Amino acid sequence: MEPTPKPAAESPAIVDAEDARAVVPVADGGAIADGGVDSPSQPTVFVRTPGNLGAIALDDDWVYWIDTTHGLARTSKRGGGAVSSLQSIGAEPACCGMLAVDQANVYWAIASGASASGLRRTSKAPPPLPADNTADAPVDPASLACLAADADAIYWLRLKHGDDWGRGGSIVRAPKTGGAQKILGQIDTPSFGCIAVDASNLYLTAVHEPRNDGALRAVPKTGGREKTIARLVGPAGSLLLDDEHVYWLDAGGIVRARKTGGARSIVTDRPKGCTSVAGMALDDTDVYFSCGGHGPREDGGTIWRVAKRGGAPELLAEQQIHPDDIAVDHDFIYWSSLGSRRKAQADGGILRLAKPAATPD
């Protein structure tokens, strides 16, 4: 499907976290725009996050992320407020962050690097701590990849061999209140993707890359027999759920299938010039996704939206510097910018865009 681009957007402005009036261009040569004004063509950056590790999460009042300057951090959705550092991350990590939030805690991990590994739990309202205090101990010190949470428990994939996704691992569940971890299943396929949970099941993408096949599977959260929901085409990731469907990304594009099983349905092909889809998010009617660019420029990233039922994707923002994870609430779209390599990620940030009107039925 060919994308339906909107008119070219102006260069987004950066609103400094300490002064909502201060604006600077996002990239060299970009125009300086009036900060603090959100519109479909004018995303703003809430805060600079040097060394952004990609993952973001939302609750009713706050935006959360991990970066090498603030550590585990948050800022108010109202915008223009100071950054609160909830916990230091210690030595500078080499890779990616994972986040989940509930009413009381943030559950987080860093996928690899020199920092302490493992899944950690940090209170949203921690007592004052020295800057070098590591707060809560890891829930699981083993290598982990991908994270999900429900009202009662936290779920993750524990890799069998270091950070080698290609050698399988375990699906683990631990109560949020503490207690014994439970292994829900073993993954022995040469590669596997991510997990998501609903009221009854945990969903997993598992791919046999040498054979270029794989399956989306469901397993009861309490443990039990796996069920195949749909087939996969190539490696898969960005697994999301709504009440009736599972959404994911594979070589076929953005895809969905009913939770009860059945044929896969292509929501949209990857837009032209989108070399990779870094993040996906859902609301009641649409799928939102971030795309990496192509060529020598580092600001070729884009943000898109497509109706859940399928169709041509709509371009919402362009000229983004390595956009990564994406999240939505009722009013806004948020995404992380990893920052440019030539500036050692010092220009990374969390951006926000007022959500356009919902796509018509």
Please name each of the domains of the chain with its CATH number: 1-38 (no CATH), 39-298 (2.120.10.30)
Q: CA 279 to CA 255: how far, in whole Å?
A: 14
Q: Give the Å distances, CA to CA, from 290 to 96, 322, 334.
A: 16, 9, 10
Query: What's the pLDDT score for residue 18?
Result: 30
Q: Give the Å distances, CA to CA, from 298 to 7, 46, 101, 107, 164.
A: 21, 20, 31, 31, 28
Query: What's the pLDDT score for residue 32?
Result: 25
pLDDT tens across the length of the chain (361 residues):
545 444 333 333 333 333 322 222 333 323 223 333 344 467 888 899 999 999 999 999 999 999 999 999 999 998 756 899 999 887 767 678 899 999 999 999 887 544 446 788 899 986 554 444 444 545 565 566 688 999 999 988 877 765 555 566 788 888 888 778 888 877 665 566 688 999 999 998 876 655 666 888 898 887 778 888 998 887 788 899 999 999 999 888 999 999 999 899 999 999 988 888 999 999 999 999 999 876 678 888 999 999 999 999 999 999 999 999 999 999 999 999 999 988 888 899 999 999 987 655 5
| 167: phi then psi, degrees, rounded to nearest 5 | -120, 15
Query: What's the pLDDT score for residue 304?
Result: 96
H-helix or E-strand containing 317? strand 314-320
Residues ≥6 apart with Cβ < 8 Å to 121: 105, 106, 107, 136, 139, 154, 176
Q: CA 185 to CA 171: how far, in whole Å?
A: 5
Tokens representing 47 are 């805060």
Query: What's the pLDDT score for residue 161?
Result: 62
Q: CA 316 to CA 354: how far, in whole Å?
A: 10
Q: Give the Å distances, CA to CA, from 249 to 232, 265, 269.
A: 9, 12, 10
Query: What's the pLDDT score for residue 119?
Result: 81
Q: CA 206 to CA 208: how far, in whole Å?
A: 7
